[in-house]
Amino acid sequence: MTIAVVDYQGGNVQSVLFALQRLGCEQAVLTADPDLIRSADRVLFPGEGEASSAMRALRASGLDRVLPTLEQPFLGICLGMQLLGRHTAEGVTAAGTPLLNMLPFDVVRFAPTDPTQKVPHMGWNALQALQTPLFTGLTGDESPVAADYVYFVHSYYAPVGAYTIAEARYPARESFSAAVRYRNFYGLQFHVEKSGSVGEQILRNFLTEGFV
């Protein structure tokens, strides 16, 4: 199986490549080549940083036109998930930043009213309301003992909608989209590559032959 990890000078790429190595994936390549990306069996779209800078890099390379046309299983991670949406409030101006428009959500900033709830939302949090085979083998249990914990670092989020396939709660137990899907495009708000055995199970599911 060939795996293309999209290179647009975004952060967190090496930890994704290391996670793939731990799973025994020998054919993962970091690339911005449209032909390699189109021909890969799976596409991973990691990201860490700021949305407007990421969108400038994607437009400069032409990848903003390539990614929406892909038909194989595609997984955005953290900022890579947010970039799949229509618009984000994050940007160098108050108008925010137009995104790739691959999924029907707008990204907004956490605005907790409780001063003990800090932004960014950072640390381990439990997944709930799990849908699709991406989460095969996980419980989705809300009890602290049985819950599936993953690692988040983000100040912006996608609200819960028809595209949501997993939820988490923050702040004050308000739900947001921890994972999204539209057709073959999946996105994870958390750092799957830093989420221990739960993250490995999710990546393993995504890489399984026949996953759609």
Residues of the chain with pLDDT under 70: none
131 inside domain: yes
| Of 74, 45, 71, 41, the residue nearest 58 (C-alpha) | 45
136 inside domain: yes
48 counts as catalytic: no
212 inside domain: no
Parent domain of 72: 3-207
78 counts as catalytic: yes
- Residue 42: the pLDDT is 98
- Burial grade of 20 (CB within 10 A; 0-12, 13-18, 19 or more): buried
147 inside domain: yes
96 inside domain: yes
- Residue 145: the pLDDT is 79
Structural domains of the chain, count: 1
Residue with tokens 């221990």: 196
- Residue 140: the pLDDT is 82
104 inside domain: yes
Catalytic residue among 48, 50, 78, 90: 78
111 inside domain: yes
- Residue 196: the pLDDT is 96
Radius of gyration of the chain (CA): 16
Domain of residue 108, CATH code: 3.40.50.880
The count of other CB atoms within 10 Å of the CB of residue 74 is 26
Look at the alpha carbons of 30, 33, 36, 42 in this order and tell me if their dihedral is positive or negative. positive
- Residue 62: the pLDDT is 97
- Residue 197: the pLDDT is 96
193 counts as catalytic: yes
Q: How far apart are CA 151 and CA 155, in angstroms?
A: 13
Find residue 88's DSSP bridge partners: 97, 107
